[in-house]
Chain A
Amino acid sequence: MSFDVVLRSILSAAFLASVLRISTPLILPALGGLLTDLSGAVNIALEGTMIVGAFTGVIVSAYTQSWILGVLAGIAAGVFISGVLAFFHLYLKTDVILAGIAINIISSGGTIFLLYMLTGDKGSTSSLASKVVPNIDLPIFQNIPFLDQVFSGHNIFVWLAFILTALTAVMLYRTRLGVHIRAVGENPTAAESVGINVRRTQLIAMLLSGFLASLGGMDLSMAYLNGFTRDMTAGRGFIALAAVYLGGRKPWGTLIAAMVFGLADALSNQFGSMNIPSQLVSMIPYAVTILALVVYAVRQRQVIIDRARKFQERHMAEVAEAKAAND
């Protein structure tokens, strides 16, 4: 295939729509990662929380034949898993990384184990008639030529990803809880000294992150694909974590970063048809994340240096003033 054809397919509405779909299971857990990160703990268990949400949603929807019950059960399972993580980290003082790794292991192993027990198959739930969530078409886009194709035929989770990003932004910067979460992450001792319940704030952040990650998981198993396959999250929880840093630890930045990862994923599919190796294309977002990490660190250090210089200048000025007054 020539470059021209690929370029045209990239600029098409269908491609942009697919970027939205591919990004959704990254945006939702990334928001969860953002909340825990701001509250001062790296939630490495996003991956495991996603897979448990994906699995529970499919199983419950298959047995109850109701997608709503499936989604609710998936959310409950995701919140429960992050509750376990919070219990070990906040109350038993387990290191959050090691507890997170344990959660990931038990989630991956446990879902395959239960899958085998329930279906006799270790690969997927193809033998179960599970439900998918419905699509929602917004009427406002219907008569706009290009946008109607980009924004039509998307499932609930795609819309939720954007709505929840907005809600997260409002929550973080406009509500008491958001201020508490950021304060606790910035300096727990200072937060405690002004009467913030540090542990409870971190617990809330973690439970919310479980809620968001489970939605991301269910997007995979109940919308993007129809059914659960073993380890179907395939590292998306870790990519979501990277999106938090690439996005500068801000809600809309995180959303854009997650979409950059989604774009790279969609592009690597397209380039696969040309002679550009897809593995090399899919490497780019990770390399960019490392760069973002470096830029963030350098900027952070510059801020500290600037502050120190300002403090010093002010101090010198005060000293000079005092001296002048004495004279």
Chain B
Amino acid sequence: MIRKALSIPSVRETLRIILAVLIALTLGFIITLVVSKDPIGAYNAFLTGPVSRLNRAGEWIKESITLTLLGLAVAMVFKANLFSIGQDGQMQLGALISGIVVLYVPLPGILRIPLALIAAGLVGYLWGLIPGLLKAHLNANEIVSTLMLTAIAGRFYEFVLVTYLKPPTAGYNVSAAFPPEGLLPSFIPPFMTDLYQLFTSKANITIMIYIAIALVFVTYFIMYRTPFGYELRMVGANMKVARYGGVNTKRTIALAMAVSGILAGLAGAHLTMGIHGRVITQITASLGFEGIVVALLARNNPLMVPIAALAYGYMRAGADIMERSSDVPREMVLVIQAIIILLVTAERILPMVQKAIAERRDAGPAQPAEAEAAKGE
């Protein structure tokens, strides 16, 4: 029964990821044991912190929404075997343009918010299209080009923020606070008065949660139910075969990276309009490569991305709480995160473990397989 379940690749993959997370968490606990005066308290804060209060849970959910969008963006390019790691830049530009629209376009909220979201998606699309075209038509290394474009986006972001958006009186490099017409509304409709008040005051989760969930299904649909998605997966599986099979690989590559940019741009809009309520300096700090972790944990499957994002967002939120309530710095979670990436991506670990088990079994006296073979003879 168990062996049968284990022979299904997806079950094995899921098991492997859960195992990797558990190993990493155990190592995290060992580190805590070594460094902390109160390791149990610290690890308890890490593991249960995010659900201990409503406002903390709210932070966790908001973080997970950003991570979901980033994870979807990465899953799409990784599925096409493109190492586009420019999500951070796309996200920054998305945040910037959404801030500009919100601050300077005098429209009612019902028009201004969608306009800002569309602008953020569009700018992400364009910032993904550039390396996409370079890769598709010139075979320019997408890792380097996306890294460069991210660096450019980051500097442009700070330049516009400091030069144009920052009010002369502001002490920090931040824009003016967004007007109410520019903030995403709460995910609870206002007529449910009690809940509405509870959530807007304690854990202001916005309608972005619905948009994110919808985008999970849209991304899944695009990747698994459309010709483009089919071509994208074919390019990812084997570029030469795809080209030989008549796939317009150039178009697919450019489009995959551009569409992925839309999702990252929207993640940026969520940062400004859903979390901070203004454009702030270094808004994507520490989010740069997090989408990659989420996509890895979800094995590039869009439907698994929100689950991975929730799990991973939980870890990040827990680390923040642990830092505040104990003597263990939040960077411990970075160690856990790196170990998860290494364990999940090390393709040879499982075969090596299997081989080791098989060898041990070979050394043992009873051999069920051999006995059966002998019977057959």
- A: residues with CB less than 8 A from B are 42, 44, 88, 91-95, 97-99, 101-106, 108-110, 112-113, 116-117, 122, 235, 238-239, 241-242, 245, 277, 279-280, 282-283, 286-287, 289-290, 293-294, 296-298, 301
Q: A172 to chain B: closest CB distance in Å?
A: 20
Given A117-B35, A283-B152, residue A293 in contact with residue B134 (CB < 8 A): yes
Give how many A-B residue pairs fall within 8 Å (CB-CB). Answer: 133
Could you write out 21 A-B pairs with CB less than 8 Å apart?
A42-B143, A92-B348, A98-B345, A99-B345, A101-B341, A102-B342, A109-B334, A113-B331, A235-B151, A239-B151, A241-B147, A245-B144, A279-B155, A282-B155, A283-B151, A289-B144, A290-B145, A293-B148, A294-B134, A301-B138, A301-B139
Contact A238 B147 (CB under 8 A): yes
Q: Are A99 and B342 in contact (CB under 8 A)?
A: yes
Residue interface mask B144-168, A partner, CB < 8 A = 1: 1101110110011011001100000
Question: Which residues on A sit within 8 Å (CB–CB) of B289?
Answer: 101, 104-105
- Partner of A95 from B149, B152, B334, B345 at Cβ < 8 Å: B345
Per a CB cutoff under 8 Å, which of B134, B140, B147 touches A242?
B147
Q: A106-B334, A279-B159, A296-B140 are in contact. List 14 more A-B contacts (CB 8 A).
A: A92-B349, A93-B346, A93-B348, A94-B345, A101-B85, A102-B337, A109-B331, A109-B338, A112-B329, A238-B147, A279-B155, A293-B145, A294-B138, A297-B140
Q: In the complex, A293→B135 CA distance in Å?
A: 10
CB pair B83–A97 under 8 Å, yes or no, is yes
**A287-B130 Cα distance, complex, nearest whole Å:** 12
Which residues 279-313 of B have a CB within 8 angstroms of A?
289, 292, 296
Chain B residues in contact with chain A, CB under 8 A? 35, 83, 85, 134, 138-141, 143-145, 147-149, 151-152, 155-156, 158-159, 162-163, 289, 292, 296, 329, 331-335, 337-339, 341-342, 345-349, 352
CB distance from B142 to the nearest CB of A (A): 10
Q: Give A97's nearest chain B residue, CB to CB.
A: B83
Instruction: Write the nearest CB–CB distance from B356 to chain A, whole angstroms.
Output: 14
A98 to B338, CA, bound (A): 10
Q: What residues of chain B lie closer than 8 Å to A94, measured between beta carbons?
A: 342, 345-347
Beta-carbon nearest neighbor of B341 in chain A: A102
* A88 and B144 contacting across the interface, CB-CB below 8 Å: no
Tell me whether A283 and B335 are in contact (CB under 8 A): no
Task: Note all chain A residues with C-beta closer than 8 A to B347.
Answer: 92-94
Instruction: Tell me whether A293 and B159 are in contact (CB under 8 A).
Output: no
CA A103 – CA B335 in complex, angstroms? Answer: 9
Chain B min CB distance to A206 (Å): 16
Complex Cα distance A9/B113, Å? Answer: 48
Dominant SS among interface residues on chain A: helix
Assuming the A-B contacts A103-B338, A108-B334, A293-B141, are A238 and B345 also in contact, with contact meaning beta carbons closer than 8 angstroms in the complex?
A: no
Question: Known contacts A287-B152, A298-B138: does B338 contact A106 (CB below 8 Å)?
Answer: yes
Q: Give CA–CA (A317, B332) in the complex, Å.
A: 68
Chain A residue nearest to B329 (CB atoms) is A116
Beta-carbon nearest neighbor of A297 in chain B: B138
How many angstroms between the C-alpha atoms of A99 and B347 in the bound complex? 11
| B147 close to A102 (CB less than 8 A) | no
B148 and A286 form a contact (CB under 8 A): yes
Candidates A103, A235, A286, A294; contact of B152 at CB < 8 Å: A286
Residues of chain A within 8 A (CB-CB) of B341 are: 98-99, 101-102, 105
With A98-B345, A99-B345, A101-B341: A44-B143 Cβ-Cβ less than 8 Å: yes
| B156:A112 contact, CB within 8 angstroms | no
Q: How far is the CA of A112 from the CA of B333 in the complex (A)?
A: 12
Minimum distance in angstroms from B39 CB to a CB of chain A: 14
Q: How far is the CA of A116 from the CA of B159 in the complex (A)?
A: 33
Minimum distance in angstroms from A183 CB to a CB of chain B: 20
Whether A293 lies near B292 (C-beta < 8 A) is: no
Could you tell me the distance between the alpha carbons of A81 and B148 in the complex, rounded to whole angstroms?
25
Question: For A298, what are the chain B residues with a Cβ–Cβ distance below 8 Å?
Answer: 138
Contact present for A277 and B163 (CB under 8 Å):
yes
Closest 6 CB pairs of A and B: A109-B334, A106-B338, A297-B138, A279-B159, A102-B341, A92-B346
Contacts of B145 in A (CB 8 A): 290, 293
> Complex Cα distance A301/B352, Å?
41
Residues of A within 8 A of B333 (CB): 109
A122 near B329 with CB under 8 A, answer yes
Tell me how far the C-beta of B14 lies from the nearest C-beta in chain A, rounded to whole angstroms.
19
**Known contacts being A277-B159, A298-B138, is A113 close to B332, with CB within 8 Å?**
yes
Least CB distance, A196 to chain B, in whole angstroms: 22
